[in-house]
């Protein structure tokens, strides 16, 4: 009977040490992954419950390599937000030739810019210049941001046309240099060359988030 208590105490200590090292290793591993991952997510909260996110799947690529970009507007409020549209459309920068009806957009710039000077920079052309036959878009008189989500409803005269995820994404490995004579007569494609590039995420509510990737 006297031996039972020492053995029990030793067993409890060994089990406690095992769980301590197990959880310590797990926490350390998670921190290591988050610290050393190339993936980046930047958020701005300047409009109350409206959160604009910019996500890059990598911050370093080689010439010819690509970068994945996602811009998302998340509404964290509990009551819907209604946005009236007078001209039937919202024009925000897109990496595609046809207009997008979401409330976010993105641009890419060659060089390092901040919010203080990015308005002076010229964005890169992310799609081939030319004439495109775009599909018809929904007529919209109002947007409805759904609570606790990134979803937005497109409404025309009180009738819901469709529900979309309020995000835009692109996978890019270069840009187009437009013809100096006519921007509609095509251009020359070039891979991202060595240097720093700035990605600007914007939304209808004048929020801006900047991210960066480097080509080496």
Residues 48 and 17 in one domain: no
Residue 86 lies in a domain: no
- pLDDT tens track, the chain, 216 positions: 544 544 444 444 444 444 333 333 333 333 322 333 445 667 675 678 999 999 999 999 999 999 999 999 999 999 999 999 877 668 899 999 988 899 999 999 999 999 999 999 999 999 988 888 888 888 899 999 999 999 999 999 999 999 999 999 999 999 999 866 555 566 899 999 999 999 999 999 999 999 999 999
Length of the chain: 216
- Dihedral, CA atoms, 190, 195, 201, 206, nearest 10 degrees? -110
Instruction: Specify the pairing of strand 159-165 against strand 142-145.
Output: unpaired
Residues 11 and 29 in one domain: yes
Phi and psi dihedrals of 169, rounded to 5?
Answer: -140, 155
Residue 138 lies in a domain: no
Residues 110 and 21 in one domain: no
Residue 140 lies in a domain: no
Q: Which residues pair with 152 in a beta bridge?
A: 145, 164
Residues 117 and 204 in one domain: yes
Q: Work out the angle at residue 167's Cα, subtended by the Cα atoms of residues 165 and 171, and round it to the nearest 5 degrees.
A: 125
Give the number of domains in the chain.
2
Residue 183 sits in which domain range?
38-79+93-131+165-215
Predicted confidence (pLDDT) per residue in 82-130, tens digit: 999 877 668 899 999 988 899 999 999 999 999 999 999 999 999 988 8
Residues 42 and 31 in one domain: no
Residue 157 lies in a domain: no
Residues 74 and 3 in one domain: no
Residues 7 and 110 in one domain: no
Looking up residue 186, the CATH number of its domain turns out to be 2.60.40
Residues 15 and 73 in one domain: no
Residue 115 lies in a domain: yes
């Amino acid at each position: 009977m006297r031996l039972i208590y020492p053995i029990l105490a030793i067993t409890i200590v060994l089990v406690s040490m095992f769980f301590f090292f197990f959880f310590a290793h797990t926490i350390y591993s998670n921190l290591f992954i988050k610290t050393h991952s190339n993936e980046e997510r930047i958020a701005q909260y300047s409009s109350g419950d409206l959160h604009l996110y910019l996500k890059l799947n990598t911050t370093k690529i080689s010439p010819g390599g690509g970068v994945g970009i996602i811009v998302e507007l998340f509404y964290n409020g509990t009551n819907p937000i209604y946005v009236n549209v007078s001209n039937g459309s919202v024009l925000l920068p897109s990496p595609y030739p046809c207009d997008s009806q979401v409330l976010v957009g993105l641009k890419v710039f060659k060089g390092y810019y901040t919010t203080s000077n990015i308005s002076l920079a010229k964005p890169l052309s992310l799609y081939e210049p030319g004439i495109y036959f775009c599909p018809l878009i929904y007529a919209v008189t109002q947007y409805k941001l759904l609570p606790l989500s990134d979803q937005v409803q497109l409404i025309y005269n009180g009738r819901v046309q469709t529900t979309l995820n309020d995000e835009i994404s692109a996978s890019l490995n270069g840009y187009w240099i437009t013809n100096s004579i006519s921007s509609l007569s095509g251009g020359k494609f070039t891979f991202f060359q060595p240097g720093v590039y700035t990605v600007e995420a914007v939304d209808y509510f004048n929020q801006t988030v900047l991210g960066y990737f480097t080509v080496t």
